[in-house]
Chain A
């Protein structure tokens, strides 16, 4: 069952200083129980994608120029805010990067989880019982391996750590039982040791609930560990997409290759890192491959048009080196 289908999504930001094309024709699908990773650096549009799917884009200045976002068969990108509120929570749940902005500082942990349960009950027209909700909240906290769950449940957000807050968010996801979880860099602000714990818990609850996950990150290694399939974003477009195994072990797109080479995996004595030259500049990318200015394999065909995605060895690659096809 396809939980999320994004087709040809283009989003612009219109500001006093000009128009920024944050996303250009992005398409992807997420099925039940599947964790799809969106990997990109700053300027790639990955956060815009997460916000667009969650319908949290501020419009203005964001404008969806074209494309569709379909959640379980229903188009949600044109829904009114009141309709979207019905979808959020039990349909689509979000976990964001900064743990300290995620929870209501004035409510105890157990009350916030209970609130999610109350919403879930209301939507399925079931009666809400506070004490069983609180018990369920504690059970979820235990599932996400929070130490001293009963104690943490009574605390306020400022009394627990960032790692614990992210776990609470995952417990809330368990309580909400969403079909789709949108996670935007959920472990970036955490220590490596805490991150390892959260990622393990993450995988467990996805296996248990079979929810679809859109996992946005800049960290290829984390994506490699967690995701079933990946889309590599650059300049607002999907450059390479497919099963994680394929992309991780045989990257085809020059950007994917460059990104992996940038991650230090040797010592300086063995020579400099193979860096991608230059930096991302959104100007001047009209009608050409967005990566051409920095690509070591660029040639004149790369500037003849915007390359289309080519199916190559079980994944798609947006590069003329794999087929001279262009977007119309």
Chain B
């Protein structure tokens, strides 16, 4: 069914609608802001990064330090007097990027490992799935610590660590899908048409699998943001002064509970986005499976 029809059905019930709004707002904003930041850093005009924001997220203003939420500072200010809402908005594209790359990377690697395992079976399946089991056992955080300790604290290494622990679940999902699809009659028809295995896998298994996985992947976007935020919270994200939701939440703890907004506001935003993704993913599952 078409995208418009899916959106219409999602919008017809309150929970998926809310999820749709939250996720669209989050990624929509992140794309715009992210492009501005990217162009800004390429053209050495970093001010582009806050052209849409009420103030420069980096400029300290000690006189405004630790102000509670108000109309001029929706989420209050931090210890250096910087508007928290501005910093939250500025940091959003990072999380959006991480979620997209990690889930996308997980799907990519997972499909390359899982689909041949399911379709070809035999030794390929054994090797691939045992390899998957190996990686399934890696704890994300320890791995992230290890990688960043070795290579340094950069966004790219955090993303890498996350992709490494993310792809095994997708490998299993893709394998299960391949197993289900390979017994369907249209695969026999493809064989009779002389299609080689790689064409069959690419042409027939990937679209079907992706369709099955859309709702899981959507919820996963939220999960990846959560895990990444935890990494940042533990100090494994990009170093200060760059704003990051997880780091902000962590730093804010020093000022809890008297200046509660510093920690809770970024944490609240993380929660909202993760729940939004879950609601949307859940709604998608209902819509795509044709349930009422």
Using CB atoms, name the residue of chain A closest to B8: A16
Looking at the complex, which one of B9, B12, B287, B292 makes contact with A60 (CB distance below 8 Å)?
B292
A267: CB under 8 A from chain B? no
Using CB atoms, name the residue of chain B closest to A15: B292
Residues in A neighbouring B9, C-beta threshold 8 A = 16
A61: CB under 8 A from chain B? yes
Nearest chain B CB to A20's CB is how many angstroms away?
12
CA distance A16 to B12 in the complex (A): 8
CA distance A61 to B291 in the complex (A): 10
How many chain A residues have a CB neighbour from B under 8 Å? 4
Nearest chain B CB to A64's CB is how many angstroms away?
17
Q: Which of A4-50 contact B (CB under 8 A)?
A: 15-16
Nearest chain A CB to B131's CB is how many angstroms away?
36
Residues in A neighbouring B287, C-beta threshold 8 A = 16
Using CB atoms, name the residue of chain B closest to A61: B292
Q: Which of A191-228 contact B (CB under 8 A)?
A: none
* Residue-wise interface mask of B (106-117) relative to A, using a CB-CB cutoff of 8 A (1 in contact, 0 not): 000000000000
Nearest chain A CB to B218's CB is how many angstroms away?
19
Q: Which of A303-326 contact B (CB under 8 A)?
A: none
Q: Taking each of A16, A60, A61, which has the highest tally of chain B beta carbons within 10 Å of its own beta carbon?
A: A16
Residues in B neighbouring A16, C-beta threshold 8 A = 9, 12, 287, 292
CA distance A60 to B292 in the complex (A): 9
Residues in A neighbouring B12, C-beta threshold 8 A = 16
* Residue-wise interface mask of B (1-38) relative to A, using a CB-CB cutoff of 8 A (1 in contact, 0 not): 00000000100100000000000000000000000000
* Residue-wise interface mask of A (44-69) relative to B, using a CB-CB cutoff of 8 A (1 in contact, 0 not): 00000000000000001100000000
CA distance A279 to B287 in the complex (A): 27
CA distance A16 to B286 in the complex (A): 11
* Residue-wise interface mask of B (238-262) relative to A, using a CB-CB cutoff of 8 A (1 in contact, 0 not): 0000000000000000000000000
Nearest chain A CB to B35's CB is how many angstroms away?
36
CA distance A116 to B9 in the complex (A): 44
Nearest chain A CB to B283's CB is how many angstroms away?
11
CA distance A69 to B116 in the complex (A): 55
CA distance A224 to B230 in the complex (A): 71
CA distance A60 to B9 in the complex (A): 17
Nearest chain A CB to B79's CB is how many angstroms away?
50
CA distance A16 to B9 in the complex (A): 7
Q: Taking each of B9, B12, B287, B292, which has the highest tally of chain A beta carbons within 10 Å of its own beta carbon?
A: B292
Nearest chain B CB to A16's CB is how many angstroms away?
5
Residues in B neighbouring A61, C-beta threshold 8 A = 292
Q: Which of B252-292 contact A (CB under 8 A)?
A: 287, 292
CA distance A15 to B9 in the complex (A): 11
Q: Which of A231-251 contact B (CB under 8 A)?
A: none
Using CB atoms, name the residue of chain B closest to A58: B292
CA distance A44 to B6 in the complex (A): 29
Residues in B neighbouring A15, C-beta threshold 8 A = 292
Nearest chain B CB to A221's CB is how many angstroms away?
28
Using CB atoms, name the residue of chain B closest to A60: B292
Residues in A neighbouring B292, C-beta threshold 8 A = 15-16, 60-61
CA distance A16 to B287 in the complex (A): 9
CA distance A15 to B292 in the complex (A): 6
Using CB atoms, name the residue of chain A closest to B287: A16
CA distance A15 to B13 in the complex (A): 13
Nearest chain B CB to A48's CB is how many angstroms away?
15
Nearest chain B CB to A12's CB is how many angstroms away?
13
Using CB atoms, name the residue of chain B closest to A14: B292
Residues in B neighbouring A60, C-beta threshold 8 A = 292
Nearest chain A CB to B48's CB is how many angstroms away?
43
CA distance A285 to B12 in the complex (A): 27
CA distance A16 to B292 in the complex (A): 6
CA distance A60 to B12 in the complex (A): 16
CA distance A268 to B12 in the complex (A): 53
Nearest chain B CB to A97's CB is how many angstroms away?
21
Using CB atoms, name the residue of chain A closest to B13: A16
Q: Which of B208-234 contact A (CB under 8 A)?
A: none
Using CB atoms, name the residue of chain A closest to B286: A16
Nearest chain A CB to B2's CB is how many angstroms away?
13
CA distance A61 to B9 in the complex (A): 16
CA distance A43 to B292 in the complex (A): 19
Using CB atoms, name the residue of chain B closest to A13: B292
CA distance A227 to B117 in the complex (A): 53
Using CB atoms, name the residue of chain A closest to B1: A17
CA distance A87 to B188 in the complex (A): 49
Nearest chain B CB to A85's CB is how many angstroms away?
25
Nearest chain A CB to B41's CB is how many angstroms away?
45
CA distance A60 to B291 in the complex (A): 12
* Residue-wise interface mask of B (170-214) relative to A, using a CB-CB cutoff of 8 A (1 in contact, 0 not): 000000000000000000000000000000000000000000000
CA distance A144 to B12 in the complex (A): 52
CA distance A16 to B288 in the complex (A): 12
7 examples of A-B residue contacts, CB within 8 angstroms: A15-B292, A16-B9, A16-B12, A16-B287, A16-B292, A60-B292, A61-B292
- Partner-B contacts on A (CB < 8 A): 15-16, 60-61
A-B complex: 7 closest residue pairs judged by Cβ atoms:
A61-B292, A15-B292, A16-B9, A16-B292, A16-B12, A60-B292, A16-B287
